[in-house]
Structure 1
């Protein structure tokens, strides 16, 4: 009787595991295909990441990168932005989109001179 009970339990667990596998394969496996959650509309997510960041130099406020000087902060989207260092250790990031090579730098220089 024990052997029969053992065989029935073993078969039941095998069937459950098999159908569980197919259920995950064809139904998306749970969390993999869920709609992404929207981030909160307040700054709590950013403040949490800021509080977790450790930096003994300068923590860039927009990228949370740890650098020696503020003007060393990277742009948030370096593949889409050019970085320009300004006077007094500041930097700006300007979109690359729609400009020919060097055009963003030319416009920054014109703005520095007050011509733009």
Structure 2
């Protein structure tokens, strides 16, 4: 009788372990570890402006805080371009400036094109 009870207990434990393995297999197969995988990867920046607002509010500047780069400068037209490797800052006069994509292969090509456009030549 004891031997039969031991065999029954072993059979139940075997069935339980097989069922557990089966559920783990299907959980993994159908994306059960996606949440675990997502925790390991960096999160995307929020689609609202909360990250920017938090950094804007935390920035300390006694002069002018540039809205695009959060750089602290003396005058608004001194703000750097956010992507200075691919943008060129062109001062338009009267203390204003814009950042435009670098054009051509020569330095100052973007400024030359803006000046031509201002004169109505292009």
TM-score range relative to shorter protein: 0.5 to 0.7
Q: Give the 5 Å matches for 1:1-116.
A: 34-96=40-102, 99-101=104-106, 102-116=108-122
- 2:11 aligns with none
Long gaps (5+) in structure 1: 1-32
Cα distance between partner residues in 2 of 1:50 and 1:79: 24
Deviations 1:50-85 (A, max 9, x none): 000011100001100000000000000111111111
Considering only CA atoms, is the larger Rg found in Structure 1 or Structure 2? Answer: 2
Aligned residues: 85
Long gaps (5+) in structure 2: 1-38
CA RMSD of aligned residues (A): 2.2
Segments of 4+ moved more than 4 angstroms: none
Cα distance between partner residues in 2 of 1:70 and 1:38: 30
Deviations 1:13-60 (A, max 9, x none): xxxxxxxxxxxxxxxxxxxx9322011111000000000001110000
How far 1:106 moved relative to its partner? Answer: 1.6
TM norm structure 1:
0.66
